[in-house]
Structure formats: structure tokens, C-alpha cells
Homo-oligomer: A and B are copies of this chain.
Amino acid sequence: MVKVGIVGGTGYTGVELLRLLASHPEVELSVITSRSEAGTRVDELFPNLRGHVDLEFAAPDPKTLNACDLVFFATPNGVAMQSVPELLAAGVKVIDLAADFRLKDPEVWAEWYGMPHGCTDLLAEAVYGLPEVNRDAIAKARLGANPGCYPTAVQLGLLPLINKGLVDTSRLIADCKSGVSGAGRQASVATLLCETSESFKAYGVPGHRHWPEIRQGLTLATGAAGKDVGLTFVPHLTPMLRGIHATLYATLISSNTGTDAELQTLYEQSYENEPFVDVLPAGSHPETRSVKGANTCRIAIHRPQGGDTVVILSVIDNLVKGAAGQAVQNMNIMFDLPETTGLTNIALVP
């Protein structure tokens, strides 16, 4: 059994993590901390957990956290970096679901997150927790940086093309749509039902924090360090609870262009051993609901009118494969458990 602690657990990532961990056969949920809710029963805040989670939120206490095998941080950006060194020193492994350890360059981090990075020493050691790319490194990691939701959907969608050098990486477009849970559970006018339901909008077009993260991952895949890929990333707010749909546009480099069937085969082969990436049959249009509550990324490949523009459709549940589920997947790898343990539940349709 892995003895697990959670720091911060009152947001949507937190409750999702609790849902997954509560039914994970190899996990003992040891402590969950929240300054604001200390003393409140977890299932009072989240009645769906009644009968499944018997803990109270506790004020953060190094002693109890240090006694864990693994601590998940489901905290705002900038929090984990303050506590991680002590936990690692105590022999505790850490998975941060926030952004503290996702970017390798502390200056880029500081620019996008609006504060200096407080733990630059660990940036090199931290492993970017996208198992389909970094499985071996994750297995040995003490500190996992769980990817962002958009970066997960976009990278899984584009990597097969980029790994093979098939597309012009100076002109990639990621038009992404997310459910509102991606915006978190803070009191805010912008995410009220009455502000977001029955409406659709882009946001962050001038710049979004997931842009450097995606760019870092795709650039790494090109193998051309130092020459960043060209990426236009436009996120949109969609009137639904969960789900990300990434619509990805890339231009085939003509000399390398294969047939449509070859593209389909490329994707199928790229992911044939991946338990959580599902390449749909040619001609498909994945729906976000087909992964609602599940740790799956479903992908379809199109090449409209036989032109040189490839259109990739990639869907995930932002709270599962885009956050808590991927974190549990990372945990499974880090603790040498079968990777799918606790992650086999089926998407809820309708």
C-alpha cells in the first residue's frame, strides 16, 4: 500500500483525486490538508464521497506529510515549490498537479506565472509527467510535474507527427476548447453558471500559461534544441463541466508526405502499447463525453480534401487525463504498480 497525502484538496482537481484514490486498491489515503477547511469532513464539502472517504481536512503539518510515501499537491501555482525540498529530504515522493515544476527554464516560468521561481534547484530533477513520453524517467523520479490539461491533449495529438518530422513545426495551430472546471473552484464572477452557460468564447489569445509548456514539449520532440517550434494556441471556454477538445492543424512537409492510411497507421503504431491513448478508426470525430470521468485520450486524424493540412482531433477529460487521473498514472509508475491500477473506470455516457 502506498501511503498518500494530499495538500490542498478543496478544488475540482482535489475532489477528482479523492474520487480516484478512494477506490484505488493500493492506496491508503492518510492525510488531506486545507488551511481554510481544517476540521471539516471531506464528505461534508463533497457529499459524493460520503461512504467512501472518512477523513477531515487537516491543517498542514510537516510531521504527518513527512510520514507519507507520496504527497500530491493540488494547490495554486507557487505553493508546492515551498514545501517540496523538505518532503524530498524526508524521503517522500511528490507529484505536483500545479505548474511549479513543468517548465525547465525558471525565467520563462517567472515571466508567465508572475513571480520568481522559488525552487530552481529541483527544476532539472523534476520529471515532466507525461507517461507516453517520459515513462522510464517517471519510474525513477522523486518529483513529478503533472502536465497541464491543454498540454496533455495537444502534445498527445501532435507528437507522432513531430517525432517523425512530417510537419512544418514553424506554423502549428492548436485551437482548444475546455469545459469550465478547468477554471477551478474559486468564487469568481467569470465562472458563474450565468456567465458561462449558453455562451462560448476564446480567452487568453494574447498569451496563456500553457503556451510555453506546450512549446517546450513540442520543441523537445523536434530534437532541435534552441529552435522553438512556432505555435499559435487559442483556448476557448465551453459551456460544459468537463472535457477538452483540441483541434490541431499542421502542414505536411511535402517531400515526407504519406498517404492518409499511412498517417492513420503512424498514430495507431505510436500508441499501440499505450493503455490510455485510443486512436479512433479513420474518419472518426471523438466526442469529449466519450472520456468523461476516464483517464483516456482519444484521437482521430483527418486530412480534409486530401490537402497538405492535417487536422488532429484529440479529446481528454481535463480533470482526469488532464489532471488527477494522470497524476495517479504517474503514481502507479513511480511505485511500480501496474499502470492502469485504479484507472479502469469507464466514461459516463450520457
Contact = CB atoms under 8 A, between A and B. Distances in A.
Contact of A287 (B200, B240, B294): B200
B194 A346 contact: no
A197 B197 contact: yes
A205 B278 contact: no
Interface string A196-224: 11111111011100000000000000000
Pick the most buried of A232, A233, A311: most chain B CB atoms within 10 A of its CB.
A232
Interface range, A side:
35 or more
A255 B191 CA distance: 42
Interface string A320-340: 000000000000000000000
Contacts of A187: 187-189, 192
Number of this chain's copies in the complex:
4
27 contacts: A15-B350, A19-B349, A48-B291, A48-B294, A173-B309, A179-B200, A181-B194, A185-B189, A191-B192, A191-B194, A192-B192, A193-B239, A194-B350, A198-B241, A198-B292, A199-B243, A200-B238, A200-B245, A201-B315, A205-B313, A207-B304, A232-B307, A234-B304, A238-B239, A241-B350, A249-B249, A345-B345
Interface string A54-79: 00000000000000000000000000
A279 to B, nearest CB: 10
Contacts of A290: 47-48, 50, 199
Contacts of A114: none
A102 interface: no
B47 A287 contact: yes
